[in-house]
Amino acid sequence: MLIAQAHAAASLSGLDWLVIAVYFGLLIAMAWWVIGKGKDTADDYFLAGRNLSWWIVGASIFASNVGSEHVVGLAGSGAADGVAMAHYELHAWCLLVLAWVFVPFYSRSMVFTMPEFLERRFSPASRYVLSVVSIITFIVSKIAVGIFAGGVVFATLLPEVRLELGGATIDSFWIGSILVIVLTGLYTALGGMRAVAYNDAVQTVILILGSGTLTIYGLYTLGGWEELRQLCGSDMFNLWRPLIPEGVEWTWAPVLEKDAAGKIVKEAWYFHGDYPWLGMLFCAPIIGLWYWCTDQYIVQRALGAPDERTARRGSIFAGFLKLFPVYLFIIPGMIGFALAKSGKVPGLEAMVTADGRPVPHEAQAVFPMLVKHLLPTGLRGLVVAGLLSALMGSLAGVFNACSTLFTVDLYQKWRPRATQSQIVRVGRLATIAMVVIALAWIPVIQGARGLYNYLQAVQGYLAPPIFVVFFMGVAFKRLTAQGCFWAMAVGFLMGAFRMIVDTPVTLGLKGYEHGYAPGSFLWVVNNIYFQYFSVLITIVSAVVLVAVSYLTPAPDYDRIRGLTFGTATDEDRARTRASWNGVDVAASAVVLACILFAYVYFRG
């Protein structure tokens, strides 16, 4: 028997619920209208018929990226670590690389997926490897993180909600997680890429308005920008952190850092640091370029454009929108820490220790906590709608990307004679299966230091070999299929090995509460800072790619014509040159200028 026990949350009034209901009503109406415009074909379901306008492409890229891990995780990172994670947000320049470097290759190849492009450049084996690894990456990072973030939001805003099933009680965290999945999966499965893209455009507007409002109210309550700088200190406003944190010696033995209660909160080692400048300088761009230029989750929106010009302008527009998260999520997180430290807003005290340091686990929910304790009635509902927009937009994008990868790269290879309706149906079923697997992975995320930290670590382990084969594969025509296969195989094995080593410690399994035996091989692997390990994987993958390629015969250059700089024809270059003008160059320059300003300002 299912019994629901729900008490009205003091934080959400009737007006708040009305605003949220109106928003979701508009969202459903938009999805229904878009579904009616679509056709039951693979091209329409997975790429919206390749007919998206530039502003829809840009807004969809932004909404898909700025989702659960940003609204919840990035704000939590801001409260715990300051602007350190802004490096990843200032990678808007990577979208310019997509626009100016990769869009021409993707547009003329007319592929559905990134693995399909890799097959044309290298071999079918490379396509299979990338498809499988990409699906795994989506499940353990983007889908699982999205579900977890939805649970955090509901657990913070509606802690009283309970469901009793037999003798078991399901709390608001899991109720919220499942509701986010059902609502998002419904319109994604029914409408495909077209529904995702158009709803993303609406969600982008709501997200920027809602989060911007929270930032303004937070600064007003705190007392202004200078008060924020004073309470947070120069370290939290510094993008470039030292290699070794202050107070931690360069040592071969672990240093256990404890909180006021004596609980171990971090095990520092000579290879550790809180987002050190060296890791940010080399590792962060690797992850950024992989994500923005080669990840199916993002590039699929550019593939939905009708031509090269539209895809480029959409990517540039997304780069401009990408400048907002620093001020929409990181700064509110820092405001939440400052308010907790000052005691101006009751209910935030748990975010700081007795000596005024942030508590990472509590900081994880800073964004919904600010919404709950800071905003007035009505406006609170708008921001909650924006918060749910981001959660759903991110999940919708990854649902569609996952189903595309599985259906186009795997199912169609197994069943080449499948009808268009069968392909679409399998894509919908694949989405359901991946969600179930992701639910089982949530306990691993719960044990991590922070939501955004977990996400960046997983991407740091799995992204390097993909980055290497795409960028070097496009740049150098001499690289071979054998080199690509072995580079990905070796790189992915290294990343998987690190994840396997980390998991028992992250979960705190019996015997691993404090990690491995100091000085042992597994202890060394577990304690190497994730950014440094990511750079190591990148170097090894690149060496393997070049070495194996030059030990094997050169590829057939006619077969890869137009897929590398060295095999592009004069006609290809002329078409690309005709697709851009001074407006595109000026817009790109504005994005770069804004990034430069942020780097100059946030230097401590």
331-357: average pLDDT? 83
The C-alpha angle with vertex 291 and arms to 290 and 294, in degrees rounded to 5, equals 60
Predicted pLDDT at 427: 74
Please report the DSSP string for 196-228 in residue order: HHHHHHHHHHHHHHHHHHHHHHHHHHHT-HHHH
Structure tokens at 302: 């550019």
Predicted pLDDT at 7: 37
Tokens 């983007």: give the residue: 142
Name residue 268's beta-bridge partners. Answer: 255
Please report the DSSP string for 565-599 in residue order: GGG--HHHHHHHHHT--HHHHHHHHHHHHHHHHHH
Predicted pLDDT at 505: 78
162-165 β-sheet, strand order:
2-5, 162-165, 168-170
Predicted pLDDT at 360: 67
Smallest CA-to-CA distance from 137 within 408, 415, 499 is with: 499
Separation of alpha carbons 383 and 441, rounded Å = 29
Query: What beta strand segments (E) does 59-195 contain?
Result: 162-165, 168-170
By three-state DSSP, how is residue 52 classified? Answer: coil
pLDDT of 501 > 50? The answer is: yes
Predicted pLDDT at 268: 45
299-325: average pLDDT? 87
Note the pLDDT tens digit of each residue in 417-429: 777 777 777 877 8
Query: What beta strand segments (E) does 43-89 contain?
Result: none
Smallest CA-to-CA distance from 190 within 32, 304, 64 is with: 32
Which H or E run contains 3?
A: strand 2-5
Whether 451 and 150 have beta carbons less than 8 Å apart is answered as no
Report the range out of 65-74, 206-215, 505-514 with the highest average pLDDT: 206-215
By three-state DSSP, how is residue 14 classified? Answer: helix
Mention every residue, 6+ apart, whose C-beta is less than 8 A from residue 47: 112, 193, 300, 303, 304
Note the pLDDT tens digit of each residue in 171-221: 776 776 677 666 666 656 555 555 666 666 677 777 788 788 888 988 999
Separation of alpha carbons 261 and 258, rounded Å = 8
Q: What are phi and psi of 251, to 5 degrees?
A: -140, 155
Tokens 């993008």: give the residue: 239
Q: What are phi and psi of 2, to 5 degrees?
A: -105, 120
Name residue 255's beta-bridge partners. Answer: 268
- Read off the amino acid at residue 346: P
Which domains does the chain show, CATH number per domain?
Answer: 2-241+276-462+569-601 (1.20.1730.10)
- Read off the amino acid at residue 604: G
- Name the band, by pLDDT with cuts 50, 70 and 90, for residue 269: very low
Smallest CA-to-CA distance from 63 within 426, 508, 388, 539 is with: 388
Predicted pLDDT at 443: 66
- What rounded mean pLDDT belongs to the chain? 78
Structure tokens at 15: 């007006």
pLDDT of 47 > 50? The answer is: no
Report the range out of 76-90, 147-161, 482-496 with the highest average pLDDT: 482-496
Predicted pLDDT at 183: 67
Q: Which has more pLDDT, 153 or 445? A: 153
Burial class of 34 by CB neighbour count within 10 A (0 to 12, 13 to 18, 19+): buried
Smallest CA-to-CA distance from 175 within 162, 186, 157 is with: 162
Name residue 266's beta-bridge partners. Answer: 257
pLDDT of 304 > 50? The answer is: yes
Predicted pLDDT at 38: 53
Name residue 276's beta-bridge partners. Answer: 241
Structure tokens at 202: 């609406």
Whether 398 and 215 have beta carbons less than 8 Å apart is answered as no
Task: Please give the model's pTM, rounded to 2 decimal places.
Answer: 0.78
Q: What number of H helices and E strands is found in the chain?
A: 30, 5
Structure tokens at 217: 């109210």
154-183: average pLDDT? 70
Name residue 54's beta-bridge partners. Answer: none
Tokens 């320059």: give the residue: 589
Report the range out of 69-73, 226-230, 339-343, 588-592 with the highest average pLDDT: 588-592
Note the pLDDT tens digit of each residue in 459-491: 889 899 999 999 999 999 999 999 999 999 999
Predicted pLDDT at 335: 92
Predicted pLDDT at 272: 47
